[in-house]
Structure 1
Amino acid sequence: MSKHVIITGTSRGIGFELVKLFSNLGHKVLALSRNSQPVSQLALENVTAVSCDLADEDDYKKVETFINNEWQHVDILINNAGMLLNKPFAETTISDFTKVYQTNVFGVSEMTRIVLPFMQKDSHVITISSMGGIQGSMKFPGLAAYSSSKGAVITLTELLAEEYKESGPQFNVLALGAVQTEMLEEAFPGYQAPTTALEMAQYVLDFSLTGNKFYNGKVLQVSNSTP
């Protein structure tokens, strides 16, 4: 049965691969990214690419209008958009922190809030976090803003699962280890991750379709590389 799926951060990496995978299975996709060109150029008939900046409040209205006019309901929301900053803490300004949190925390919170009224009891909200956001995991210098933001959405997910446990939907987080994406290459030039964007996208796809039968308010550590 065809699902209505919203994915953020679709211009490259895991998000871009997810759009193609969902489309190939016949699902309808709303692909959101500041740069909508990469998905638009795929010309997939069941995919709508919309330019959306998670820091721009007006862009959330575009999402709301689209759902109202085209779908009326949403089955899966994948909060995948992320901003990675690698910078010594002493040089990390309040503006740097604000930018990272704007996408990684406030963007997740607001997109979820906008989409929730259109979701059903068995709908599924998945937020992509990082092993760096897991308490007790290995930490890396330079990632104070990024990893702390990824910790924040883990707690947010636990809270939302509790708040909506009677009515649904289900909320889960995937804390990913290193995945070979453009974002990783920009932050850590030359580092080779053991997992490709396509491999991870396949896992996220499978989990988004079935994971909420077994999990709610949980963080799953999806990593074969980080202690």
Structure 2
Amino acid sequence: MSRNVEIPTSGKRHGINVDMFPSECGLCHKNVDPTYISGVFIDGYDNSSSNVLELVFQCTNVECRSLIIGYFRRTQKNVFEFVNNAPLEPTKKEFSDEINSVSENFIEIYNEAYFAEQKMLTLISGIGYRKAIEFLVKDYLIFLNKDDETSILARPLGQCINTLENENIKEIAKRATWIGNDEAHYQRKWEGKDIEDLKKLIEVTTYFISMDVASKKYLEEMS
């Protein structure tokens, strides 16, 4: 449902409709219905000439109360459509203790890609996720066999995946790599899959690795 706000320009107030207010504060990451303060037309003088609008809100979370800038663009229906809001403090993806013990490199790379995605840098975030997969798989193999580290690091990712004994990890990691490769290449092979599928496959891969590491740990401790 659209919402009406007034924009002050040179003593006049222009009523305009926006499709929605920002629903999450980019700093405290709480779901809020922010308080509208004011706004400006960016590429024109008034509602009749401008297609771009910036509105200022205040976060209603009493522990935050930060200002929120909402960015809007006019649609063919003469409503300004919400695009995104700023400022944004990226959040981190948390992983299990087992994944932390296997590959701190993976977690750092994944979160850099995740930061890029939250900053709307989606054309490069996919490549970062692809790199994260490689570090996860290779560090996992090294975790299982430290004496083979030099050989593992020298192999291409595909060969490393094929040496995995756990079939669940092997098959899911393969598919994560396929989509990750699409993110790095000009032409896509998996047209029906995107970065959300890539993240889901990474999540499943980390789940199976976590379960494998935890089971090995308990079997060793309780032998």
TM-score with structure 2 length normalisation? 0.26
**Structure with larger Rg:** 2
State the structure with bigger RCO (CA 8 A, min sep 6), 1 or 2: 1
